[in-house]
């Protein structure tokens, strides 16, 4: 079975641009979470979706948005990119919307120049 897949794996954007990152959860998983991991730090929670509804939001500005599609895949959108948005963006999926048991993808490395 395929794990959590994220695309693209690497991306370079210019300040002020917007970016869309994509995540396909493990088959049968209905919950998707997004995290930002800056080099040298732990992942920071951005969003959690379950059955296409937002169930949780971290302390990120409104430039960050996400959605979950009927097939449970998800997109993370970031507008008006800043240099500080450069990070590894991780997606994780789970069958449930609570507890643990999340499986992470390998992430998308975003560099803003």
Partner 1 sequence: GESVGLHLPTLSVQEGDNSIINCAYSNSASDYFIWYKQESGKGPQFIIDIRSNMDKRQGQRVTVLLNKTVKHLSLQIAATQPGDSAVYFCAENMSAGGFKTIFGAGTRLFVKA
Residue span binding partner 1 (CB under 8 A) among the ranges 13-21, 22-30, 34-42, 78-86: 34-42
Q: How far is the CB of 3 from partner 1 (least distance, A)?
A: 9
Q: How far is the CB of 61 from partner 1 (least distance, A)?
A: 17
Omega cis (within 30) before 111: no
Cα angle for residues 78, 75, 70 (degrees, 5° grid): 150
Kindly give, in sequence order, each residue whose CB lies less than 8 Å from that of residue 61, ignoring residues fewer than 6 positions away: none
One-character DSSP codes across 39-88? TTS--EEEEEEETTEEEEE-S--TTEEEEE-TTS-EEEEE-S--GGG-EE
104 near partner 1, rule: CB under 8 A: yes
98 near partner 1, rule: CB under 8 A: yes
Q: How far is the CB of 16 from partner 1 (least distance, A)?
A: 24
Contact positions toward partner 1, by CB under 8 A? Answer: 4, 33, 35, 37, 39-45, 48, 50, 55-58, 88, 90, 92, 97-107, 109
């Amino acid at each position: 079975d395929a794990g959590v897949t994220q695309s693209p794996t690497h991306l370079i954007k210019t300040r002020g641009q917007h970016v869309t990152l994509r995540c396909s959860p493990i088959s049968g998983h209905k919950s998707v979470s997004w995290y930002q991991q800056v080099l040298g730090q732990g992942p920071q929670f951005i969003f959690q979706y379950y059955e296409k509804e937002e169930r949780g939001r971290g302390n990120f500005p409104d430039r960050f948005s996400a959605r979950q599609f009927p097939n449970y895949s998800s997109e993370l959108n970031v507008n008006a990119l800043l240099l500080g948005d450069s990070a590894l963006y991780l997606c994780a999926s789970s069958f449930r919307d609570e507890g643990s048991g999340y499986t992470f993808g390998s992430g998308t490395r975003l560099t803003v120049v």
